[in-house]
């Protein structure tokens, strides 16, 4: 297994990261559906748009392992994220090859991961994720990885506009790396020593990564 996809679900901007370890390529995209979640139907339809966009971004027939962070459902806004997460997983299950697996990370997994890094600069949660992701990408790029951030806007001449990595994409990267670490990808093992220096949190056992299994009606 050398292909991994991390998804940071959000209605405002869902971040997606795909890492092809063998090809040494890391590709990012960001998905922002139009409208707002005024009604339950709006929330479902916008979630379907995000899920379908993820399927278009990845090659669903490829041998890929997927991971996304579970929502912490404790408010109306968070309950909408529960809808989004459920729709994404359901769509993936119907679209990807049966042998491909989906994993989930506990709701505060990224926070637990980053807590291992002494936040002496008093960065916010988002700023800390961005710093860690940027440092890791700089290291992997020095090791020959090709980093691609897909264009979301285009110039009048049709050329793509360059853009910076978003916070959601940064956290999607961290999720993807957590999965690679859990699955002990052989081709990626040589990079961990330097990544640990950036954030030793990847060694932590506090972050729970579980395979998502669909139970049969008999169960």
Cα–Cα dist 104/69, whole Å: 5
- The pLDDT value recorded for residue 205 is 82
- 3-211 maps to CATH 3.30.420.10: yes
Q: Is 73 exposed, middle or buried (0-12, 13-18, 19+ CB in 10 A)?
A: middle
Q: Where are the domains of the chain?
A: 3-211
List, for residues 91-131, the tens digit of each pLDDT value.
998 888 878 899 999 988 998 999 877 676 688 888 999 99
- The pLDDT value recorded for residue 53 is 94
Q: What is the mean pLDDT of residues 181-194?
A: 94
To the nearest 10°, the Cα dihedral for 189, 195, 199, 202? -10
More confident residue, 24 or 160: 24
Cα–Cα dist 56/50, whole Å: 10
Q: What is the pTM of this model?
A: 0.90
Pairing verdict, β 25-31 and 102-105: unpaired
Q: What is the mean pLDDT of residues 154-182?
A: 85
- The pLDDT value recorded for residue 157 is 63
Cα–Cα dist 219/215, whole Å: 6
Q: What is the mean pLDDT of residues 174-183?
A: 96
- For the chain, counts of helices (H) and of strands (E): 6, 7
More confident residue, 134 or 99: 134
Q: Which helix (H) or strand (E) holds 204?
A: none
């Amino acid at each position: 297994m050398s292909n991994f996809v991390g998804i940071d679900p959000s209605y405002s901007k869902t971040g997606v990261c795909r890492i092809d370890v063998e090809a040494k390529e890391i590709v990012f995209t960001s998905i922002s559906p139009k409208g707002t979640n005024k009604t339950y139907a709006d929330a479902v339809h916008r979630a379907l748009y995000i899920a379908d966009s993820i399927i278009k971004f990845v090659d669903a027939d490829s041998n890929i392992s997927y991971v996304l962070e579970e929502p912490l459902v404790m408010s109306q806004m968070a309950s909408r994220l529960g809808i989004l997460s459920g729709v994404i997983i359901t769509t993936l299950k119907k679209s990807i090859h049966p042998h491909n697996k989906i994993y989930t990370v506990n709701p505060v997994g990224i926070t637990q991961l980053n807590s291992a890094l002494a936040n002496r600069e008093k960065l916010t949660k988002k700023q800390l994720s961005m710093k860690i992701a940027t440092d890791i990408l700089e290291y992997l790029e020095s090791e020959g990885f090709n980093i691609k951030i897909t264009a979301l806007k285009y110039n009048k001449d049709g050329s793509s506009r360059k853009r910076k990595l978003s916070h959601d994409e940064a956290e999607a990267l961290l999720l993807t790396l957590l999965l690679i670490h859990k699955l002990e990808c052989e081709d990626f093992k040589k990079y961990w020593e330097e990544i640990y220096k950036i954030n030793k949190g990847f060694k932590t056992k506090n972050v729970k990564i579980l395979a998502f299994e669909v139970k049969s009606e008999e169960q």
